[in-house]
Amino acid sequence: MKYFFILGQNPTLSSAEIVSLLSDKTKFLAVSPEALLLLTEKDQDVFDLMARLGGTIKIGTILNAFDDPRPEDIAENIPRVHGKKSYFGFSFYKIDDKLPLKNFQNKTQKIKKMAMAIKDILADTGAAARWVTSKEKNLSSVVVEKNKLLTEAGAELIFLIDEKKTYLGRTLAVQEFENLSFRDYSRPVRSMKVGLLPPKLAKIMINLANIDKSATILDPFLGLGTILGEAALMGYQNLTGSDINPEIIAGAKQNLEWLSKTYNLKLETYNLIESDVRHLGNKLPPRSVDAVITEPYLGPPMQGNETDEMIKKVVEELSALYLAAFREFKKILKSGGKIVIAFPVFHRKNENLFLPIIDEIKKIGFQAADLLPKEFTDFNFLKITKRGSTIYSRPDQKVMREIFIFRH
Ligand SMILES: C[S@@+](CC[C@H](N)C(=O)[O-])C[C@H]1O[C@@H](n2cnc3c(N)ncnc32)[C@H](O)[C@@H]1O
């Protein structure tokens, strides 16, 4: 079966996450900053995948491919349910990054102009239909969901366009946008001081670890428990969190209990420990953890007007803290264990300052693992740094995150 994935804001992380979950028995057909197309041997449970992925906005199947689609080709894929009005909408994505924008826009306009002809074709067969449009370039997940396009009488048709062909797909699932922001904003304990990891990024980081549901996950900078909470929702049962601050641990506990009640989870085996990460080896048994997944302490909040000296000091302190942490991870990780971690990247004048600790981390015994397979390295919109990481940033953040997977 051929599937398309419409990618979120960061195509590198979104693609890496999909590859990590689906690389077995999957052939990747195309990728662009907007979408990824793949062929799988087995049918996928798209709802399960959608609930699991943090960086994908829509998932659907490819129904057909045309040199130049005609109104009949499109009308044929709009469902008709006896006694019900049909709903259809269009979204257009470039699947070939090299396709000139002008050509893409021409093809898009041509298809949009067919909407009335399509309604007429449906009317001729006795089916009334409504064309759902929006002011945006494409229909958002919210518009798709709220306008019945995911019901049996509706279809969001996706046109994935390259130089030669137009692939026609139908959306089957969209990101659970309401649920994600509900979890982000409604949890009982929130604090801007601790810094809240967006649940979407937490999901991506968990998926990058690519571990079984029976695996033991540790977040040694637990904070308010976003990573452990998202892992619990994905079905992970063996969860350990530690933090230096007992008040923060109490907040994380409250958040996890709220999550467990709200989503009816069986959260029996989570374990929260008070510990400085630098002494974690004394608190947890050796080789007991499959994956460390964490956004560590990122330093004091930045205002943007810090002097070079101040930034240098923070970089030194964090470097020492993380290296001490990696020495502890080495003790408690099982062989083959992984670390998915977000390091801060500071911005100074016109340059980005990365923590200079990769050589030291290698000496401790960890290697940065590839975020994407070799076949993806030719696409220059997929941005992997020379040290094997990728950058995650949001306009509202002063400090960017550098995401790594380490193995030992
Ligand atoms: C950035 S927050 C983690 C946020 C978390 N990922 C979330 O979204 O809820 C960092 C946490 O690290 C903890 N911390 C700072 N220094 C620490 C240390 N040396 N050992 C363990 N935890 C530490 C802080 O108490 C804080 O809760």
Domain of 114, CATH number, reads 3.30.2130
* Ligand 1 atom nearest 223 alpha carbon: 27
Q: Is 248 in the pocket of ligand 1 (CB under 6 A)?
A: yes
Give, for ligand 1, the residue of 193, 201, 222 to mutate: max count of ligand atoms closer than 8 Å to Cβ.
222
Burial (CB count within 10 angstroms: exposed 0-12, middle 13-18, buried 19+), residue 43: exposed
Nearest CA to ligand 1 atom 10: 297
The helix/strand/coil state of 30 is strand
Answer with the one of 175, 208, 238 that is the final residue of a domain: 175
Q: What CA–CA distance (Å, rounded) separates 294 from 206?
A: 9
Q: What CA–CA distance (Å, rounded) separates 219 from 33?
A: 31
195 Cα: distance to centroid of ligand 1 (angstroms): 9
Residue 203 shares a structural domain with residue 166: no
Nearest CA to ligand 1 atom 26: 223
User: Average of pLDDT values for 117-136?
Assistant: 91
Q: Is 273 in the pocket of ligand 1 (CB under 6 A)?
A: no
Strand-strand pairing, 390-392 and 367-368: unpaired
Residues 6+ apart with CB under 8 A from 391: 345, 352, 383, 385, 400, 401, 402, 403
Q: What is the pLDDT of residue 47?
A: 96
Its domain, for residue 360, covers 191-407
Give the pLDDT confidence of 62-112 residue by residue, as tens digits: 999 999 999 999 999 999 888 889 999 999 999 998 899 999 999 999 999
Give the pLDDT confidence of 272-299 residue by residue, as tens digits: 999 999 999 999 999 999 999 999 999 9
For residue 178, give both structure tokens: 């309401």
The helix/strand/coil state of 108 is helix
Residue 220 in any domain: the answer is: yes
Residue 180 in any domain: the answer is: no
200 Cα: distance to centroid of ligand 1 (angstroms): 19
Cα 12 off chain centre by: 10
With tokens 């000139």, the residue in question is: 100
The helix/strand/coil state of 152 is coil
Answer with the one of 175, 207, 223 that is the final residue of a domain: 175
Residue 123 shares a structural domain with residue 250: no
Q: What CA–CA distance (Å, rounded) separates 392 from 343?
A: 10
Question: Alpha carbon of 406 to those of 269, 305, 352, 369: distances in Å?
Answer: 26, 33, 22, 5
Per the DSSP assignment, residues forming a β-bridge with 216 are 238
Q: What is the pLDDT of residue 291?
A: 98
Q: Do 12 and 371 contact (CB within 8 A), yes or no?
A: yes
Q: What CA–CA distance (Å, rounded) separates 336 from 407?
A: 7
Question: Alpha carbon of 251 to those of 17, 187, 263: distances in Å?
Answer: 29, 10, 18
Cα 229 off chain centre by: 16
Q: Is 295 in the pocket of ligand 1 (CB under 6 A)?
A: yes
For residue 300, give both structure tokens: 């004091």
12 Cα: distance to centroid of ligand 1 (angstroms): 26
For residue 153, give both structure tokens: 């009488």
Question: What CATH number does residue 330 fall under?
Answer: 3.40.50.150
Residue 171 shares a structural domain with residue 315: no
Q: Is 276 in the pocket of ligand 1 (CB under 6 A)?
A: yes
Give the pLDDT confidence of 1-44 residue by residue, as tens digits: 999 999 999 999 999 999 999 987 899 999 999 999 999 999 99
Q: What is the pLDDT of residue 24?
A: 78
Among 90, 59, 277, smallest CA distance to 171 is for: 59
Q: Do 334 and 215 contact (CB within 8 A), yes or no?
A: no
Nearest CA to ligand 1 atom 19: 276
Q: What is the pLDDT of residue 192?
A: 57
Residue 165 shares a structural domain with residue 277: no
Q: Is 274 in the pocket of ligand 1 (CB under 6 A)?
A: no
Q: What CA–CA distance (Å, rounded) separates 199 from 177?
A: 11
Nearest CA to ligand 1 atom 18: 276
Give, for ligand 1, the residue of 194, 284, 328 to mutate: max count of ligand atoms closer than 8 Å to Cβ.
194
Nearest CA to ligand 1 atom 17: 244
Instruction: Give me the number of domains the chain comprises.
Output: 2
130 Cα: distance to centroid of ligand 1 (angstroms): 51
The secondary structure of 167-216 as a DSSP string is EEEEEEEE--HHHHHHHHHHSS---TTT----HHHHHHHHHHH---TT-E
Q: What CA–CA distance (Å, rounded) separates 141 from 125?
A: 29
Residue 95 shares a structural domain with residue 222: no
Q: What is the pLDDT of residue 177?
A: 82
Residue 162 shares a structural domain with residue 200: no
* Ligand 1 atom nearest 294 alpha carbon: 6
